[in-house]
């Protein structure tokens, strides 16, 4: 059985569908249509929730760059700007799992 935190950080099929449409069915970084709505802005390792305000659509290459390279800050800044443009009052503090 999954922990509450694991369930909270998972991305549901419904959330993926919403993010896919919101992001125009393409990677928000490079524009590729060979992308998936499964990149956490705040990573799962840091308690990032699997909610639409924390998920962006990314191709495999950009998702890797965002998670595993020195270019991470550049990708995170672009993702942050994108999410802020999509949601009035977007707030990073609301995107992290809190025990309760």
Q: What is the average pLDDT score of the chain?
A: 95
Which residue, 37, 63, 67, 62, is CA-closest to 52? Answer: 37
Q: What is the pLDDT, as a whole number, of residue 100?
A: 66
Mean pLDDT of 18-26: 98
Q: Which domains does the chain have, with CATH numbers?
A: 4-93 (1.10.30)
Structure tokens at 86: 């999509």
pLDDT in tens, 39-86: 999 999 999 999 999 999 999 999 999 999 999 999 999 999 999 999
* Residue whose structure tokens are 């802005």: 41
Q: What is Dmax (Cα atoms) for the chain?
A: 39
Q: Please provide the DSSP assignment of 56-97 as one string.
A: EEEEHHHHHHHHHSTTHHHHHHHHHHHHHHHSTT--GGGGB-
Q: Please compute the mean of the pLDDT values over residues 27-33 and round it to a whole number.
A: 98
pTM for this prediction: 0.93
Query: What pLDDT score does 2 carry?
Result: 77
pLDDT for residue 16 is more than 90 = yes
């Amino acid at each position: 059985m999954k922990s509450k935190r694991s369930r909270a950080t998972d991305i549901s099929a419904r959330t993926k569908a919403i993010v896919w449409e919101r992001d125009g069915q393409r990677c928000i970084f490079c524009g590729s249509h060979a992308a998936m709505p499964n990149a956490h802005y705040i990573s799962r390792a840091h308690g990032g929730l699997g909610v639409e305000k924390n998920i962006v659509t990314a191709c495999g290459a950009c998702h890797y760059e965002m998670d595993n390279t020195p270019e991470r800050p550049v990708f995170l800044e672009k993702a942050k700007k994108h999410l802020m443009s999509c949601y009035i009052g977007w707030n990073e503090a609301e995107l992290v799992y809190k025990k309760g």
